[in-house]
Amino acid sequence: MSNHHLMGAFVRRFLIEELVTDRNLSPNTQKSYRDTIRLLFNFVAERYSTDPTRVTVEQVDALVIRSFLAHLENDRGNSTATRNQRLAALRSLFRFIGRLVPDLIEHAAQIQAIPLRRTIVPTMTYLEKHEINALLDVPDRRRAQGHRDYTLILFLYNTGARATEVAQLTIADLNLGSSPSVRFYGKGRKIRMCPLWKHTTKILRSLLGPRIEGPGESPVFLNVRGRSITRYGIHALVARTAVKAAMSVSSLQDKPVSPHTIRHTTAVHLLRAGVDINTIRAWLGHVSLETTNRYAEVDLDMKAKALETCAVTSQSSTIKYVPKWHVDSDLMSFLGSL
């Protein structure tokens, strides 16, 4: 086994030069790549009794990568989508290594040839209007935490924002003037503007109070300790609110409710209101219009209305029933002779 190509040196260059300097990927993407490599090193160290600092590129071949992917699914219980995400990160790492060392191009190509598995696209869950109203009715707005919970859920519904985007939101990102709006830094470092309802603006002003005149870098939504709320905190807030709302609205008991569910809800309700699909794409910050088109496919009400427009009316008096098909014997003989 060659000791000339230790993985450690390539990993450092990959994480710093490739991901940060050259590609300028988002911090979340950088962490995802880092975690994938960390899991791989732990797997190799445990399975092959190898010190992670001595792992070589040659040792981590396609067979090892396939074993690692099986470990993710069978031992760690990861989904196929997570497995594919980890594989994509490792493909990128070995593509980088192949560019640096031509002698390792063939080795890297074998790993890049490992295919992604096809996944089943899950049904998109969204809430009806009375269900989102039930969520908004849960927080006790007379208490500080309840007021914050109500404002955050209302803000999620108004903007269709991702949990990470809300967690990173600062006061400087808000424009609560005559044309209220909010600025988001979304996936891929893309900036988008989203309008705010008058009610949302009023509630945000009430939540922020004197903080609205404070430092612009201050977070909008705080946790109980007065620090910036995390995306995990937002998920927990929505989950516990949904559990309480399900006590009064039974249909919520069968729906997994998360911040992303509210994001889907915003899109479907905008579509029902007649907002064009391209505007919704910009509203949600989708890169591809194909992603936004999924919302038109899941709304049963819109499908039913579309079906009504092309329904066939009964014209039995003008239709003559033909009891049997006329068979062209010459044609059938020709087909049988082929």
Task: Give the Å distances, CA to CA, from 326 to 76, 97, 277, 332.
Answer: 62, 68, 48, 11
Q: What gap in Å lies between CA 284 and CA 270, rounded to an integer? A: 11
Point out the catalytic residue in the list 147, 187, 235, 272. Answer: 187
Annotated catalytic residue 260: yes
Annotated catalytic residue 202: no
- Using DSSP, state whether 90 is helix, strand or coil: helix
- Using DSSP, state whether 40 is helix, strand or coil: helix
Which residue pairs, CB below 8 angstroms and at least 24 apart, start in 285-293? Answer: 285/184, 285/186, 285/187, 285/190, 285/192, 287/187, 287/188, 287/190, 292/267
Torsion angle (degrees, nearest 10) of CA 99, 104, 107, 108: -20
Q: What gap in Å lies between CA 236 and CA 247, rounded to an integer? A: 18
Task: Give the Å distances, CA to CA, from 72 to 10, 41, 45, 77.
Answer: 23, 13, 15, 6
* 130, 250 Cβ separation under 8 angstroms: no
Point out the catalytic residue in the list 148, 162, 269, 281. Answer: 162
Point out the catalytic residue in the list 260, 264, 269, 281. Answer: 260
Q: What gap in Å lies between CA 267 and CA 273, rounded to an integer? A: 10
Annotated catalytic residue 295: yes
Annotated catalytic residue 12: no
The residues assigned a catalytic role are 162, 187, 260, 263, 286, 295
